[in-house]
């Protein structure tokens, strides 16, 4: 029985059929992990397959890469490292491409797969092109809906510290009120929130600090409630991390909280109350 049929059977309402298919996939994975991984990737990236089968293939890849059990997870990590390099590269490249797929479930499950591989390979320098590939997706307007998935992976401190300029430029650009897609805006604020801890030098410089604050403050007036909430979350985190800059400015300029840096009375009160 081919892999696509087994994946379809894992979604069957018949518990016996579902259990048998799951067991067959797991048994095959233990015996032929690398070829099976390659086969699952082929199904995931195939536009000829139905979306739910592609999604099932992505979930099977994730389950083959990570586990909530510590000992089992370590076994899976070592197994992934043992996969021939050409197959690992093919899998990673395929997952990156699928972040821009037209099927949203495929984007999401590919993101989960990348999240499973990332902590294994990035610290060891085994996926040096990951950040540049994600940034390319972020900077491609047609792939805006994939921004959340892409930005989610840009969280490791060593990566953010080293590449904060490359990361922040598209992220802040996507957060601006001129961005036509609320989903891109929301994803950009998620990414910005994850990045704030590692961009101290940006807030040291007045011009960059003011630009970031203007973008965030203006977003608090967004007609999209989720974007408003995300913007306020960023403001709270900014005040927690960089309050010293704003207290100094406020001391020097008593009009700071009522000037162009802030956008409305409610926002001024919110910031002063932090």
Measured CA to CA, the distance from residue 138 to residue 148 in angstroms comes to 9
Q: Is 67 left (phi over 0), alpha (psi -120 to 50) or beta?
A: beta
In SS3 terms, the chain reads as CCHHHHHHHHCCCCHHHHHHHHHHHHHHHHHCHHHHHHHHHHHHHCCCCCHHHHHHHHHHHHHHHCCCCHHHHHHHHHHHHCCCHHHHHHHHHHHHHHCCCCCHHHHHHHHHHHHHHHHHHHHHCCCCCHHHHHHHHHCCHHHHHHHHHHHHCCCCHHHHHHHHHHHHHHHHHHHCCCCCCHHHHHHHHHHHHHHHHHCHHHHHCHHHHHHHHHHHHHHCCCCCHHHHHHHHHHHHHHHHHHHHHHHHHHHHCCCHHHCCCCCCHHHHHHHHCC
Does pTM top 0.75 for this prediction? no
**Which residue shows structure tokens 């979350």?**
233
pLDDT for res 47: 92
pLDDT for res 154: 42
Tens-binned pLDDT, residue by residue, of the chain (274 aa): 688 999 999 999 999 999 999 999 888 888 899 999 999 999 999 999 999 999 999 999 999 998 889 899 899 999 999 999 999 999 999 998 888 788 888 888 888 898 889 878 877 778 877 777 776 666 555 555 544 444 444 444 445 555 666 667 777 887 888 888 888 888 788 878 877 887 888 888 888 888 899 899 889 889 999 999 999 999 999 989 988 887 655 445 545 444 454 554 444 554 444 4
Name the residue among 256, 232, 255 with its Cα closest to residue 246: 256
pLDDT for res 202: 84
Measured CA to CA, the distance from residue 143 to residue 147 in angstroms comes to 7
pLDDT for res 226: 93
pLDDT for res 257: 47
pLDDT for res 274: 45
Query: Which burial class, exposed, middle or buried, applies to 274 when counting CB atoms under 10 A from its CB (0-12, 13-18, 19+)?
Result: exposed
**Number of other CB atoms surrounding residue 4 within 10 Å:** 20
């Amino acid at each position: 029985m081919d892999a696509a049929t087994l994946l379809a059977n894992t979604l069957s309402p018949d518990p016996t059929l579902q259990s048998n298919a799951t067991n067959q996939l797991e048994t095959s994975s233990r015996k032929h992990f690398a070829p099976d991984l390659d086969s699952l990737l082929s199904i995931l990236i195939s536009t000829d397959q139905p979306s739910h089968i592609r999604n099932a293939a992505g979930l099977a890849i994730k389950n083959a890469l990570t586990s909530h059990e510590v000992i089992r997870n370590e076994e899976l990590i070592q197994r992934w490292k043992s996969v021939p390099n050409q197959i690992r590269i093919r899998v990673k490249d395929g997952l990156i491409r699928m972040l821009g797929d037209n099927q949203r479930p495929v984007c999401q499950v590919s993101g989960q797969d990348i999240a499973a591989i990332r902590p294994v390979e990035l610290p060891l320098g085994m996926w040096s092109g990951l950040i540049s590939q994600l940034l390319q997706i972020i900077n491609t307007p047609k792939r805006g809906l994939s921004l959340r998935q892409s930005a989610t992976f840009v969280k490791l401190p060593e990566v953010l510290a080293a590449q904060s300029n490359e990361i922040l430029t598209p992220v802040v650009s996507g957060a601006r009120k001129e961005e036509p897609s609320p989903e891109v805006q929301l994803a950009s604020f998620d990414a910005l929130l994850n990045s704030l801890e590692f961009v101290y030098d940006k807030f040291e410089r007045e011009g960059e600090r003011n630009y970031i604050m203007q973008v965030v403050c203006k977003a608090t007036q967004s007609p999209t409630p989720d974007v408003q909430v995300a913007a306020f979350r960023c403001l709270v985190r900014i005040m927690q991390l960089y309050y010293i800059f704003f207290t100094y400015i406020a001391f020097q300029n008593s009009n700071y909280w009522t000037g162009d840096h802030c956008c409305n009375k409610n926002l001024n009160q919110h910031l002063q109350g932090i």
